[in-house]
Structure 1
């Protein structure tokens, strides 16, 4: 509507100090609620209107209460109440404005509001989740999900992270439900309640202790039926894992992880006590994200909290451990100290992603969660990620013109800053999480881990119960180290993209932004539209470490590269490279893959490095990093795909699981890309020649005491062999599938292999296996197995079956909303599947938009699934035309469609190049 605001920021004339929030009618049958909130406020300047956030709420009454005499110092002894003359709603700004007949004076004022709303089905705000109760009936649970901007769906409030307040919560709930919130229960009494409808009903009143000062998005409320397991840690904090009734034992793994992580963070890492008395973890049947770090009341998807020893895979256990440690890291970094605004989301998510690996390594050292061998003071803080997948995902996204800086305020791709709810939801992505963690790890390695953690401690202490920006973190680290951390990190956090170092024949280096499509004319056009150079003119300060042939143990060259090879760092590196090149020796820039950049060597550099990789003269992390760089450079048109494939071929006998995983993942990407090319059969032969030697040392059966990495590699290798046409793998997978179907209890496949077996059966057998997998989905009580079934049915090779799979996912009512996006993404990975998903999305766009556009993370996933193919120039034209004139605004899916559209352009360009060069490499 013309004249309405697009910003969700509120004026600072009135700010809350404390909310006393009461829900006196929560109807889980009609899915409605009614409540009241008394907000103690500070009026900073005299106003006649008060603006709060409210979305899909109806404020039924509102008045202001203040000291008689207006709080101006007169002795009145009583109270004065002001009623509103009108209430104005702005649906676009998501606000309600209370208009009073008189101005509210400066000082303390209490706003008393009554409100009504619905317990929605959007997985946002106060929403409903269905579960099967102890009596076998389908029941409704009420759950809150307030991050980022959905507290306003549950009560009128100042819904911004920097507007912190205390909260006191009271809930009148059905007798058969437990109520859990951020703080301990202070009262739980059964009573006869007279509801607003006039009927009387026995209810239980729950009152919770007052919270610390915190942001609205961290408030939590869950009403349902649970079993639980609990334990006190060494510091006396009670940790409780709430599970579905009958599944308490499945919470013990998470309980073990959470208890250990809380103690480790408080005593060893942050050296700041856990701020609350208790720590609850709750398994929620319907949940849009993986988990949410509500202070003291963390909510999770069931699949990210519950471990079933018979059906949970190694990958799932690792994911659960990481998720639990991630959310508990937030209790300090995010909850105790909160980013000032969402443009600094990375301060929360990047740091929590980094710390999850630190904690998991401490709890499960046998997992070898860090890939480098170097250990630091606190676990292995200075080493790289457990696989290249996290940094690789961030680099893949950040190589797009449609990426954004870590600190999003400087992004101008869509708007000048992150300022409305759609934009805020868009940045919960690999840039904020994985790139954020990557640059933090790079910085920790550069500063020294011990000093880095001392700076983190000082930052947390100084800003406790308050808000901070990136500059506050850099200042704390600079005070400890004496270094200008802000100057070092400026381009890494405030500029889009990351650099590629290119090594010239004379040993000099140059840097430029690495783009997924090098020399792309559209890049300049897109950058011009944004009003910048797309990151092309950025000069990064790159802390680079170099190892080389003949170096002593632990010997490295450490240089700071600042663009000009004539600068001190560039000069030192050039001299060292010239010396090594003259001697025909190998060298590796970015030793240990600690830096967030790529390296493109000259011809001699690649040749010598290839030799070192084949003889395993360099570390597994360096071998994996060089392979990843080679394939990325080839995909961008900066190098030959044939050269990358030759490098992969030389590593077929490499014993390290990290190296194998990187090689196999790179080949798997190309299998998808080349699946409809005339040379695909020859390419499959090459893939089998690389992967079969690896498989011979792994086999179907896990060896006693084998490293955890092998358990993760095994299904990836099997999937790749199936797609490369391995008849032997298919035959054994089908034999195991038949055994499982005939004897679900006695012949269940190992959990790590279950998905590969299901997907292979559907791909090879078609209709019969498809229906058997659907039946497994319907009868399984394992969330992990259900999701694997949904992904497996998308691997059918028949158009009719794929259409049926899509209908089952979207329309059957048997698939939870939380699983729809990922299931469609799995279906869209094949050429045929991508065509069907796109066609359905285009034809049903308005319907799907109306169903899903308000569901936070779900809608962007659906949009992304629709923009995965086909990989043809004609389809690119069709996509662009559709989204430029879509029947309804794509909203929170805009960034995802732009990013996936650009990925398609990159793939179309790579296919055009590789059609000429790859067949020659396959001869």
Structure 2
């Protein structure tokens, strides 16, 4: 799954109303189901459903712990599913109770592997009525006696108590009939809406990962419990049904005296429940459905987007290439007969790798050259590559349990750069992993509240704990360490080991160490043999089983090299023990006098004469940042590197120019070097036009902006950044003929955007005048603005304007049918300098008729980026916390992003007190998937307070000195 982009007390009445609404929904569904049960008179009566006993329900201190299996978070190992027959009928119009619902019939087939009288299966928010339609059957289809049936909502279980034990090594099935709500909660089987030709269109679609297949049908909803699926969808004749496999028949039927179409799909391959997908919509497609010899590739979406505006053309043009690349990379043909890519108007994540039916946010699949920026185009290519990588790594071979989620997502996050590079070979996109993943995740992994890539299975149990793992450590650190591994054993050997791993575990599950085993076999079979200091598992476990990463210090005078656990706050306490005592086996690549060498650091410290330098010679370590570590040097080498940047920066590779800046600023925050030395690394930038070093500097200096944009430091800092960016702005102004043309290179286009956004943000008059004039031309005469510059032009126009400009952009946002343009417009609305306007936008963020639910968190985040909006957003989140937690916090993996963003500027004792009070006030309510993000926010706030206290005066003096006339 690709990452998405994604809140204090609430008054008591809101909580009461929410509870009443939830109860009303349950009652309405019960009534609705009761009305339907007479249609199944041929079904015999069943035992009455019971609820769990008081000991199962009560959390108070008087309740003794229960050992009953339905009180556990994990399914018992007594049953193993092997097949499902599923028939679902979504009704895409409201019923008499004002609800959208779906009707379901499902039969789960399983083998008893240890005698038991219990069938425990996942079920969430499925209404079985007071006399549930649930039948336990033997392999011949005969009903078995059942003593009672329990629903255990706390653990999301349906529990069937058989009158007699099921026998081991025999097959059985559980047949169920149920009604579920097609809610707009973006999880399980849910509802999405859009308008086309002034008509509201309704979609029934799915998002099962991680624990939500149970919302669509009763199932053994754990990744290791793979099975095959026969899926049938019943829908109105003017709708189209999609699922993981191709349809094999369509029948016109009559139900409830209405015409329906019944679409039957081919039996799936063996797969996990979280990969099951189905959609009922009025979407249209482009592409080739394929045949018995060729794989079908089709792009699906809204008719206007796909057929009228050609927004699916780019995705179609690259999907086949990327699929073929991965077939080569994995040495295994694509396992399914087709690959449908579907753009959904409402989708919580960035995309989801459902086998054969990949679903996306519209912004991650659709591309319109007239409306989409180069960043939009890169995202489409990268996300498609990410999801298609999963078709093998994740789908064909699946993790046994969610504690190894990093292996799925980290691997796909790495190879997405390889797949996108095949689609767009002129972009040199593989280099961008350093900025977008390696450096970005180090900021999180440098906290004492970080976590290892993997953990013990028993540490990850509940849906909230599972969803919390979908974070930057899982995706970006996973990608970084896999890239490092591929680099030090070579991509060729990595591919060989990967191919045997996939073949050995196809249609099955594995744990991360299984990959190490197969890579080790490839290394040992290599000719000539690869000289690794230790087995791969020994090396990589130091990176996987403990959190964090090292800072490697090289003394070029003595040749001594050492490592330490890098912590942003060196005084913070690490409570999580490590079997490796926070030491790593580090592959160090370094350059000296134009020659590259390698060294393995296996101990806390070692001496290597090759690290010594003399005279003006400088040493540079971690070439192209292939290693997941930071590098610190002795003062002499730092002085030589900075001098080299200022005299001739082209002698240092562009990636390492970015590395020097990023390492220096983070080393300074951790007190390894002075903050002013880090600032010294930016002095040369007025002579550099490359994107990566500039972006590294802007990322680093954004922390200074967050810490100081409400203090007297900000004025001199703004003047310095303006001085540095003016040559860059003028360079691209010339190269693009006053920003009327776009350059060929991807990174040149990105740095053109940087030059304009930075110059305007820090008040360079030429830029502000250009932006305001361009905005006015668009507002008054609909003059075209190139998509690359729209975000900056829109934001500057609103910031420099008033009500008329804001209202104009709001109207454009309301009218826009292009998701990428809508994102630019919505983000720009947060640029207003008027508090009342920003408060209005905050209220809109929780109104789905104004802003889609998928965009709530990112809208609030945009407001946080505005210094005027920071405190407003924090107050809003505190006031609406219970509402937001109910809507997003239980399972949405993106919910933690909100806490990180709304507390990003916190750097005072008062703000720390507010944050800790927020934690106390909501302890009983909880924090859902944001629990870890809250702990990290407290830790970062404490570190920020210390940093500002220690650095405010020297930073102010440095900026003043650099901006003296």
The normalised TM-score by structure 1 is 0.91
| Structure-2 residue corresponding to 1:890 | 927
RMSD between aligned alpha carbons? 2.0
**CA apart distance, 1:80:** 3.4
| Structure-2 residue corresponding to 1:72 | none
SS in structure 2 of the partner of residue 370 of structure 1? helix
Pick the aligned partner of 1:215 from 272, 278, 283.
272
The normalised TM-score by structure 2 is 0.87
| Structure-2 residue corresponding to 1:741 | 779
| Structure-2 residue corresponding to 1:808 | 844
Contact 1:43 1:104 in 2 (8 A): yes
Distance across 1 between alignment mates of 2:364 and 2:709: 33
Contact 1:36 1:113 in 2 (8 A): yes
Distance across 2 between alignment mates of 1:867 and 1:878: 10
Distance across 2 between alignment mates of 1:443 and 1:855: 32
Contact 2:245 2:356 in 1 (8 A): yes
| Structure-2 residue corresponding to 1:200 | 257
Pick the aligned partner of 2:440 from 375, 386, 393.
393
| Structure-1 residue corresponding to 2:39 | none
Pick the aligned partner of 2:171 from 108, 115, 123.
108
Pick the aligned partner of 2:318 from 250, 257, 262.
257
**CA apart distance, 1:642:** 1.5
Contact 1:123 1:855 in 2 (8 A): no
The 5-angstrom pairing of residues 471-550 of structure 1 reads 471-482=513-524, 484-504=535-555, 506-518=558-570, 520=571, 523-524=572-573, 527-528=574-575, 530=576, 532=577, 537-549=581-593
Pick the aligned partner of 2:945 from 905, 908, 919.
908
The 5-angstrom pairing of residues 587-606 of structure 1 reads 587-606=619-638
| Structure-2 residue corresponding to 1:378 | none
Distance across 2 between alignment mates of 1:397 and 1:152: 33
| Structure-1 residue corresponding to 2:110 | 41
**CA apart distance, 1:718:** 2.1
Q: What do the CA deviations read for 1:94-152 (whole angstroms, capped 9, x no partner)?
A: 1111112222222111221222211122100001001124x521121111100000001
The 5-angstrom pairing of residues 10-159 of structure 1 reads 10-24=75-89, 26-29=91-94, 30-59=99-128, 60-66=132-138, 80-106=142-168, 107-133=170-196, 135-159=197-221
Instruction: Label 1:833 to 1:506 Cα distance change in 2 as closer, same or farther (>3 A).
Output: same
Distance across 1 between alignment mates of 2:186 and 2:758: 35
**CA apart distance, 1:563:** 2.4
Distance across 2 between alignment mates of 1:750 and 1:159: 47
Contact 1:512 1:537 in 2 (8 A): no
Corresponding position: 1:789 with 2:825? yes
Distance across 2 between alignment mates of 1:63 and 1:6: 22
| Structure-1 residue corresponding to 2:74 | 9
Corresponding position: 1:236 with 2:294? yes
Distance across 1 between alignment mates of 2:695 and 2:900: 25
RCO higher in structure (CA 8 A, sep ≥6): 2
| Structure-1 residue corresponding to 2:374 | 314
| Structure-1 residue corresponding to 2:55 | none
Corresponding position: 1:404 with 2:451? yes
Corresponding position: 1:459 with 2:501? yes
Contact 1:761 1:769 in 2 (8 A): yes
Corresponding position: 1:841 with 2:877? yes
Q: What do the CA deviations read for 1:431-463 (whole angstroms, capped 9, x no partner)?
A: 111111111111111001111110011111111
Distance across 2 between alignment mates of 1:668 and 1:867: 14
Distance across 2 between alignment mates of 1:870 and 1:452: 43
SS in structure 1 of the partner of residue 651 of structure 2? coil
Pick the aligned partner of 1:180 from 227, 242, 248.
242
**CA apart distance, 1:485:** 0.8
Distance across 2 between alignment mates of 1:475 and 1:812: 49
Return 597-606 or 235-244, whichever deviates more. 235-244
Distance across 1 between alignment mates of 2:198 and 2:92: 21
Distance across 1 between alignment mates of 2:460 and 2:71: 11
Distance across 2 between alignment mates of 1:694 and 1:536: 46
Pick the aligned partner of 1:355 from 386, 391, 415.
415
Instruction: Label 1:921 to 1:218 Cα distance change in 2 as closer, same or farther (>3 A).
Output: same
**CA apart distance, 1:705:** 4.6
Count matched residues: 866
| Structure-2 residue corresponding to 1:437 | 479
Distance across 1 between alignment mates of 2:259 and 2:504: 48
Corresponding position: 1:695 with 2:729? yes
Q: What do the CA deviations read for 1:633-675 (whole angstroms, capped 9, x no partner)?
A: 1222322222122211123212322222222332333223321
Instruction: Label 1:536 to 1:881 Cα distance change in 2 as closer, same or farther (>3 A).
Output: farther
Return 814-823 or 799-808, whichever deviates more. 799-808
**CA apart distance, 1:370:** 2.5
SS in structure 2 of the partner of residue 651 of structure 1? helix
| Structure-2 residue corresponding to 1:767 | 803
Return 45-54 or 452-461, whichever deviates more. 45-54
**CA apart distance, 1:192:** 1.3
SS in structure 2 of the partner of residue 889 of structure 1? coil
- The unaligned stretches of length 5 or more in structure 1 are 68-77, 194-198, 372-384, 411-415
Contact 1:394 1:431 in 2 (8 A): yes
Contact 1:54 1:153 in 2 (8 A): yes
SS in structure 1 of the partner of residue 184 of structure 2? coil
| Structure-1 residue corresponding to 2:305 | 247
Contact 1:667 1:687 in 2 (8 A): no
Instruction: Label 1:285 to 1:7 Cα distance change in 2 as closer, same or farther (>3 A).
Output: farther
Distance across 2 between alignment mates of 1:89 and 1:515: 47
Instruction: Label 1:395 to 1:81 Cα distance change in 2 as closer, same or farther (>3 A).
Output: same
Instruction: Label 1:843 to 1:656 Cα distance change in 2 as closer, same or farther (>3 A).
Output: closer
SS in structure 1 of the partner of residue 149 of structure 2? strand
Return 730-739 or 679-688, whichever deviates more. 679-688
Instruction: Label 1:720 to 1:544 Cα distance change in 2 as closer, same or farther (>3 A).
Output: same
Q: What do the CA deviations read for 1:380-405 (whole angstroms, capped 9, x no partner)?
A: xxxxx355132111111111122111
**CA apart distance, 1:865:** 4.0
SS in structure 1 of the partner of residue 869 of structure 2? helix
Instruction: Label 1:704 to 1:868 Cα distance change in 2 as closer, same or farther (>3 A).
Output: closer
Q: What do the CA deviations read for 1:502-540 (whole angstroms, capped 9, x no partner)?
A: 23463312211111112x2xx22xx33x4x26x993110
Distance across 2 between alignment mates of 1:305 and 1:659: 29
**CA apart distance, 1:7:** 5.0
Distance across 2 between alignment mates of 1:613 and 1:818: 44
SS in structure 2 of the partner of residue 697 of structure 1? helix
Distance across 2 between alignment mates of 1:233 and 1:606: 59
The 5-angstrom pairing of residues 422-433 of structure 1 reads 422-433=464-475
Contact 2:885 2:928 in 1 (8 A): no
Return 101-110 or 501-510, whichever deviates more. 501-510
Instruction: Label 1:176 to 1:407 Cα distance change in 2 as closer, same or farther (>3 A).
Output: same
Contact 1:147 1:217 in 2 (8 A): yes
